[in-house]
């Protein structure tokens, strides 16, 4: 029986734009597990299987419900140890946490200020008021004001990717010769943006762009085939 993944969707049901759900989607593919995704909208808190914290990803695996992308990765590693490892040992898991913390405090924080209005534009109609209100409260600004000078901020965002850039300049993936969960964490952020925004985040000659291309090619082009902008 395939694993069910509740996956954030936009107005188009197959446009999936949660950075956290993309981590899980890639991790499931890495483990070679069948998945059936259920498109889910921000305002459908009641439709999630319990327990949940009102957010996705949530997976159901043979009746077992697991929520939170980090908990899901740990669950998959423990439940399917005979399949390709997401972490490669204790230090691998610990160091992956550092990559996660970098992604969440640098990449995600930088990205949302570039694309938050694009998210609103692609959100399902019933989600738009909720999304606008909650994000404008968080930023204490209108979504239009948050992104207004985004072209001017793009060079600083690109510069902040230096640790990633230097890494994937010298090795194919963040986790080395082959990708692992650390890659999916960082990639989730880029795939989030790519799904909803035509902003050219990465210059074509950026080693990060090349790495993202390698990520898009994984698992038969799983992420490349998903509805997204071509940037």
| Residues contributing to the site for a second copy (CB under 8 A) | 87-99, 101-102, 104-106, 162-164, 166-167, 170-171, 173-177, 180, 182
Nearer to a second copy, 10 or 188 (CB): 188
Closest separation in Å from C-beta 185 to a second copy: 11
What radius of gyration do the chain's Cα atoms show?
17
Nearer to a second copy, 112 or 228 (CB): 112
Is residue 65 exposed (0-12), middle (13-18) or buried (19+ Cβ within 10 Å)?
middle
Closest separation in Å from C-beta 77 to a second copy: 13
Closest separation in Å from C-beta 209 to a second copy: 17
Nearer to a second copy, 34 or 177 (CB): 177
Contact 196, 17 (CB under 8 A): yes
Nearer to a second copy, 97 or 128 (CB): 97
Picking from 180, 201, 36, 231, the residue whose alpha carbon sits closest to that of residue 114 is 201
Contact 27, 76 (CB under 8 A): yes
Q: What is the DSSP letter of 46?
A: G
Closest separation in Å from C-beta 92 to a second copy: 4
Contact 193, 223 (CB under 8 A): no
Closest separation in Å from C-beta 160 to a second copy: 9
Contact 66, 58 (CB under 8 A): yes
Nearer to a second copy, 1 or 91 (CB): 91
């Amino acid at each position: 029986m395939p694993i069910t993944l509740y996956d954030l969707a936009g107005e188009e049901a197959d446009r999936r734009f949660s950075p956290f759900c993309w981590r899980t989607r890639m991790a499931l593919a890495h483990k070679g597990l069948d998945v059936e995704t259920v498109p889910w909208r921000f305002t459908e808190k009641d439709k999630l299987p319990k327990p949940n914290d009102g957010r996705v990803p949530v997976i159901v695996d043979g009746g077992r419900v697991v929520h939170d992308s980090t908990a899901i990765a740990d669950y998959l590693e423990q439940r399917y140890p005979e399949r390709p490892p997401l972490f490669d040992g204790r230090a691998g898991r610990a160091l992956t946490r550092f990559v996660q913390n970098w992604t969440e405090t640098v990449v995600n924080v930088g990205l949302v200020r570039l694309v938050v209005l694009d998210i609103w534009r692609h959100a399902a109609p019933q989600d738009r008021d909720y999304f606008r209100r909650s994000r404008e409260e968080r930023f204490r600004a209108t979504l239009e004001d948050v992104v207004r000078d985004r072209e001017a901020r793009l060079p600083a965002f690109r510069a902040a990717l230096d640790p990633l850039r230097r890494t994937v300049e010298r090795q194919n993936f963040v986790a080395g010769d082959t990708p692992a969960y650390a890659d999916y964490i960082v990639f989730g952020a880029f795939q989030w943006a790519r799904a909803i925004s035509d902003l050219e985040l990465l210059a074509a000659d950026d080693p990060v762009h090349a790495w993202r291309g390698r990520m898009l090619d994984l698992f038969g082009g799983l992420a490349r085939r998903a509805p997204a902008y071509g940037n």
